Amino acid sequence: RAHCGSIVNLTSTRARQSEADTEAYAASKGGLMALTHALAISLGPEIRVNAVSPGWIDARDPSLRRAEPLSETDHAQHPAGRVGTVEDVAAMVAWLLS
């Protein structure tokens, strides 16, 4: 059985750690996590199905990130020691698709 493709869904930690007034977002990301699991069972091993579930991502323009950096307290809340960036997420998705 040959590997024929790869699917990567973007979910969110909000699916499991919601906050006030994010019900629709949390529910949609939770549903996408369930869909990812179901597709992996149905399509594997020919098609790999993964999800990337980032936490807080600093999605601001890189020039704004440099001009107005986040605080050390913001960065310290994350296991990696810093808030993630869109480039981090893109690199992970590219790796999973390779």
Domain range enclosing 2: 1-53
Rounded Cα–Cα distance for residues 24 and 75 (Å)? 27
**Whole-number pLDDT of residue 51:** 98
**Whole-number pLDDT of residue 2:** 62
Q: Clarify whether residues 2 and 42 are in a common domain.
A: yes
Q: Clarify whether residues 49 and 3 are in a common domain.
A: yes
**Whole-number pLDDT of residue 31:** 97
Q: Where are the beta strands (DSSP E) in the chain?
A: 5-10, 47-52, 57-58, 84-85
What does each of the 98 residues of the chain score in pLDDT, given as a tens digit? 566 899 999 999 888 888 899 999 999 999 999 999 999 999 999 999 999 999 889 999 988 888 999 999 999 988 899 999 999 999 999 999 99
The residues annotated as belonging to the active site are 25
**Whole-number pLDDT of residue 18:** 84
Domain count across the chain: 2
**65-71: which pairs have CB atoms within 8 A and are 24 or more residues apart?**
none
